[in-house]
Amino acid sequence: RGLNTKDTNMGFLSGAYGKLMAGKLVRQLQHQQTSIQSRLNRVTKQAGEMEKYFNRMERNMKSQMQSQMQYSMYGLMGGMGLMGQTGLFGMSGQGMQMDQYQAYLQNSQYIQQQFAMAQNVWQDQFEMQREAQLEPLHDLEDSLQTELDNIKSRLELAKEQYKAKQDEEKDGAKNMAPDYTGQGG
């Protein structure tokens, strides 16, 4: 035969051992991939739930502030005597109505400005709180995604290595088989 038996045996043994080691690495990487994917799913879910919580809180706060502003406006109208038996501006005396209407407009504008300022301050505080709570989760999510992408790349390489060692083992086994034809390998 044209091949050295020692080289043939080494090819088979190298392929067989390499296949075992590559198979072990593939399984380890698959386990790591599953573990990281599971952690990533949990973090993504947690970030989504926290986002929903903040959106709900924001809607509730806006609604409460809107109600408080309307309540203040009605209080202003009642306090100024603008709500009479005949509805808004139901008092007698046209001059008195116009003075009161002007005062009402000024006061209502002031109330609206105060609520707008309060809402802006609250909105800024809310955004800072949202950012402080969500940023670490998004950072962890990015980190896990990078780790997952890295594992996937390594897993593909390990699978290719496994296939190459499998082929090497097969070729070594073929070359170890006796040649009954007398034509050589």
Q: Tell me the pLDDT tens digit for each residue of 127-159.
A: 999 999 999 999 999 999 999 999 999 999 999
Rounded Cα distance, 72 and 172, in Å: 90
pLDDT above 80: residue 10: no
Q: Tell me the pLDDT tens digit for each residue of 15-39.
A: 788 888 889 999 999 999 999 999 9
Going from the C-alpha of 70 to that of each of 32, 66, 75, 87, 131, the distances in angstroms are 57, 6, 8, 17, 30
pLDDT of residue 179: 57
pLDDT of residue 81: 60
Name 179's Cβ contacts closer than 8 Å, sequence gap at least 6.
Answer: 1, 185
pLDDT of residue 50: 93
pLDDT above 70: residue 93: no
pLDDT above 50: residue 106: yes
Amino acid, single-letter form, for residue 167? D
- Residue 48 tokens read as 């989504």
Rounded Cα distance, 138 and 145, in Å: 10
The mean pLDDT value for 75-95 works out to 56
